[in-house]
């Protein structure tokens, strides 16, 4: 029997020879960090955007594990009137899928409290804090810096996603060795009260804090 050879169209042939014909980054694929490695985040963490494009983390876990941090020296602080702000690439924030606008009364706004039962232990956050200090090039006293949830737990931030945690330096005028001191915490408390009272939506509060915590209240007309 004689086999008939069929010509392969040039475009198809080129596609077969080039790996680039495979689909480009797919929705939900991990992004790359500054060193070309996948962006830091817990295993199983979804990278699909949540409120206003904020990544969604894995949420509260029964057992937390130490999360990989960005490469040493790859993150840079920004400053607004002397106040430290996070590197938006290293620390874009991450929200917990367990907290939504619809279940506020059962989660962050419940009277019995919410954050204590979902906070990772120091045995996990301690090593993460030291590694993250190297990521940001922080050389001050670790005891004076807070390993901060960019989106606080009381605003539905993810408890242990590396994208939501950063070593926050102390405020201007801080006396070395006097412990953690920062003005971000009162901002978070006011936002939490505003969300629970219905003055602002959860999404709006989360977006305001990741954009610039120093202007979050004024952006939302809260002060």
Cβ of 5: how many Cβ atoms within 10 Å? 6
β-bridge partners, 83:
80
Predicted structure pTM score: 0.77
Q: Residue 98 to residues 59, 140, 192: CA-CA distances in angstroms?
A: 6, 35, 16
Domain ranges for the chain, please list them: 49-219
Burial of 138 (0-12, 13-18, 19+ CB in 10 A): buried
76 pLDDT higher than 50: yes
Average pLDDT over residues 101-121: 96
Q: Please report which confidence band the pLDDT of residue 52 belongs to, taking 50, 70 and 90 as the band edges.
A: low
Query: What mean pLDDT, rounded, does the chain reach?
Result: 82
CB of 167 within 8 A of CB of 133? yes
- pLDDT, one tens digit per residue, over 129-180 is 999 999 999 999 999 999 999 999 999 999 999 999 999 998 887 777 767 7
Average pLDDT over residues 62-76: 98
């Amino acid at each position: 029997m004689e086999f008939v050879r069929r010509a392969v169209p040039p475009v198809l042939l080129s596609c077969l020879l080039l790996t680039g014909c495979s689909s480009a980054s797919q929705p939900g694929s991990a992004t790359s960090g500054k060193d070309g490695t996948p962006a830091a985040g817990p295993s199983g963490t979804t990278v699909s955007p949540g409120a206003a494009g904020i990544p969604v983390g894995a949420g509260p876990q029964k057992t937390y594990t130490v999360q990989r941090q960005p490469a040493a020296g790859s993150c840079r602080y920004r400053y607004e009137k002397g106040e430290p702000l996070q590197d938006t690439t290293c620390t874009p924030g991450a929200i917990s899928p367990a907290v939504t606008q619809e279940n506020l009364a059962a989660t962050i706004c419940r009277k019995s409290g919410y954050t204590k039962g979902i906070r990772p232990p120091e045995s996990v956050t301690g090593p993460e804090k030291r590694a993250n200090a190297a990521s940001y090039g922080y050389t001050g006293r670790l005891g004076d810096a807070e390993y901060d949830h960019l989106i606080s737990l009381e605003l539905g931030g993810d408890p242990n996603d590396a994208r939501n945690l950063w070593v926050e330096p102390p405020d201007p005028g801080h006396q070395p060795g006097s412990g953690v001191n920062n003005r971000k915490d009162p901002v978070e408390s006011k936002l939490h009260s505003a969300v629970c009272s219905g003055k602002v939506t959860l999404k709006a509060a989360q977006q305001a804090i990741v954009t610039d915590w120093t202007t979050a209240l004024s952006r939302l007309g809260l002060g």
